[in-house]
Amino acid sequence: MSSIPPVRIAIVGAGPGGLTLARILQLSDIHATVDIYERDLSATYRQQGGSLDLHPESGQVAMKVAQLFAEFRKYARYEGEGMKILDKDAKVWLSVDGPLGPPPAEGEYGGRPEIDRTQLRDILLDSLKPSTIHWGHNLQSVIPVVTEGVNEYKLTFANEVQVIADVVIGADGAWSRVRTAIIPDKPVYTGVSFIDITIRNPPSTVSDLVGPGLLGIFAGSRSIIAQRNANDIIRVYAALRESPDYLDEHPELGKSLSSIEAEFKGWHHSLLDLIRAADPNSIIPRKIYAAPIPLPYPPSNKAGSERQPSLSGITLLGDAAHTMSPFAGEGVNLAMADAADLAQSIIGALQPTPDLSGAKARVEFQQLMSHALRIFESKMEARASVKAEESARNLELAMAEDAPAGFVERLKAFRLADK
């Protein structure tokens, strides 16, 4: 077996999806090399963002398959399931203490506990074999190289490195370069922009206002969503329903807290403390994009856009395939569920170890792998389509003129269904 070259698996992107995939593949005994190519220069190069809740049917299952559930439990904040919804006059419309029930027994799934994104990422990073991640590799292109019917893929990075792979997974987020090899479609602006700010060591009034979990204040074209993170940090998203150019036309919103506060005229003074108490150096404005619905990936989803056979060894997962607004809190969960499913598909195609010593055998293996990847994609698409619609609907209700009324009704229905 050692004389047979291993299958070269290239994962582009070290987000939660790419890392989970690599971890599960490395747990198996498949005859393959698994490499991640990541644009960031190091694990600490960029702020990773706020808190996430892992859902029992997706994110938590993926952590279990990755044999990292016990590690996850060390950081999981079950009390973070609490949620409050207010209007701009500080009237409470919904208040649910977290957790919804007692935390599940050790090793069991349940609830929707929170974990900081950095903690989740560190657990996954620490679980990988040394040298799995190639930092500072910003993918520019993937092109198929076909020899005697055998597809290989040439990946070219901005640092001029080129690598050849047999299977390529685009886990490279909303603006995926891998995706552009297969379909031209791009995410579209959702109509909402966020300004992220961070409160460190919050005063007790702000701390009490936010509580142990999530606080959402909704009032038509303006919302504030505040989330408790670990280490006495509260992360706040000031959401503006505005044109895609609004943040560019108002650069001061990326620079000063008072400019952000001015967007919330007429709001109860106690709520504005969520802006005033923030670190003035923490401001990050961002436009929120989502994949169009129906989802354009996989291309078999759209008549007339079939994939070229030479691209059969490429697939996508997570935001690269189906980015959506954060209003359903599903993005990380879907990316990790995709990773767990894709890993099983790839492992299945590689067991028993195929004999890849000749072109004919490699073409046969390629067909087997292609079949496995397409089955994975249809499962991913079915799951993500439902959540993409849910997320779009939540955004409409949360930022509607009558907010928070319709959104609260929807949340109550979901919470009751969860029990």
Ligand X SMILES: Cc1cc2nc3c(=O)[nH]c(=O)nc-3n(C[C@H](O)[C@H](O)[C@H](O)COP(=O)(O)OP(=O)(O)OC[C@H]3O[C@@H](n4cnc5c(N)ncnc54)[C@H](O)[C@@H]3O)c2cc1C
The verdict on 185 binding ligand X (CB under 6 A) reads no
- Encoding tokens for residue 11? 């994962």
**Candidate residues 119, 229, 312, 333; the one interacting with ligand X per rule CB under 6 A:** 333
The verdict on 98 binding ligand X (CB under 6 A) reads no
**Candidate residues 37, 93, 264, 376; the one interacting with ligand X per rule CB under 6 A:** 37
The stretch near ligand X (CB under 6 A) out of 147-155, 266-274, 319-327, 377-385 is 319-327
Query: How many positions of this chain bind ligand X (CB under 6 A)?
Result: 31
88 phi/psi in degrees, rounded to 5: -70, -10
191 in Cβ contact with 241 (< 8 Å): yes
The verdict on 388 binding ligand X (CB under 6 A) reads no
Helix, strand, coil percentages (3-state) for the chain, rounded to 5, are 40, 25, 35
Distances (CA, A) of 315 to 137, 297, 379: 19, 10, 13
**Candidate residues 38, 81, 87, 381; the one interacting with ligand X per rule CB under 6 A:** 38
The stretch near ligand X (CB under 6 A) out of 67-75, 82-90, 169-177, 386-394 is 169-177
**Candidate residues 116, 172, 341, 381; the one interacting with ligand X per rule CB under 6 A:** 172
3-state SS class at 6: coil
Q: How far is the CB of 281 from ligand X (least distance, A)?
A: 18
417 in Cβ contact with 409 (< 8 Å): no
Q: In what order do the strands lie in the sheet with 214-219?
A: 92-96, 83-86, 214-219, 222-229, 233-241, 188-200, 284-290
Q: How far is the CB of 46 from ligand X (least distance, A)?
A: 7
**Candidate residues 116, 330, 341, 377; the one interacting with ligand X per rule CB under 6 A:** 330
313/331 with CB nearer ligand X: 331
Q: How far is the CB of 129 from ligand X (least distance, A)?
A: 19
Q: What is the DSSP string of 202-259?
A: --HHHHHHHTTSEEEEEETTEEEEEEEETTTEEEEEEEEE--TTHHHH-GGGGT-HHH
169/206 with CB nearer ligand X: 169
The stretch near ligand X (CB under 6 A) out of 8-16, 205-213, 296-304, 391-399 is 8-16
The verdict on 80 binding ligand X (CB under 6 A) reads no
Q: How far is the CB of 67 from ligand X (least distance, A)?
A: 19
**Candidate residues 9, 15, 99, 407; the one interacting with ligand X per rule CB under 6 A:** 15
Q: Which residues lie below 8 Å from residue 158, measured CB to CB, with a gap of 6+?
A: 137, 138, 139, 140
3-state SS class at 123: helix
3-state SS class at 345: helix
180/344 with CB nearer ligand X: 180
Count other Cβ atoms within 10 Å, centred on residue 311.
Answer: 18
The stretch near ligand X (CB under 6 A) out of 62-70, 123-131, 168-176, 185-193 is 168-176
Positions 187 through 246 that interact with ligand X (CB under 6 A) = 194, 237
Q: If we measure between CA atoms, which residue out of 327, 392, 289, 332 comes closest to residue 60?
A: 332
DSSP for residue 13: -
The verdict on 171 binding ligand X (CB under 6 A) reads yes
- Encoding tokens for residue 291? 């994949």
126/401 with CB nearer ligand X: 126
Q: How far is the CB of 325 from ligand X (least distance, A)?
A: 8
User: Rounded to whole angstroms, how far apart are CA atoms 193 and 379?
Assistant: 31
Q: Which residues lie below 8 Å from residue 247, measured CB to CB, with a gap of 6+?
A: 193, 195, 253, 254, 285, 287
**Candidate residues 9, 10, 18, 60; the one interacting with ligand X per rule CB under 6 A:** 18
**Candidate residues 23, 177, 228, 307; the one interacting with ligand X per rule CB under 6 A:** 177
**Facing residues of 170 across strands?**
12, 316
229/333 with CB nearer ligand X: 333
For residues 110 to 139, the per-residue mask of contacts with ligand X, x marking binding by CB under 6 A and - elsewhere, is: ---------------------------xxx
Positions 43 through 62 that interact with ligand X (CB under 6 A) = 52
> What is the distance in angstroms between the CA of the first residue and the CA of the last residue of the chain?
51
Count other Cβ atoms within 10 Å, centred on residue 361.
Answer: 14
The verdict on 39 binding ligand X (CB under 6 A) reads yes
Q: How far is the CB of 291 from ligand X (least distance, A)?
A: 11
Q: List contacts with ligand X (CB under 6 A).
A: 12-18, 37-40, 52, 137-139, 171-173, 177, 194, 237, 318-320, 326, 329-333, 335
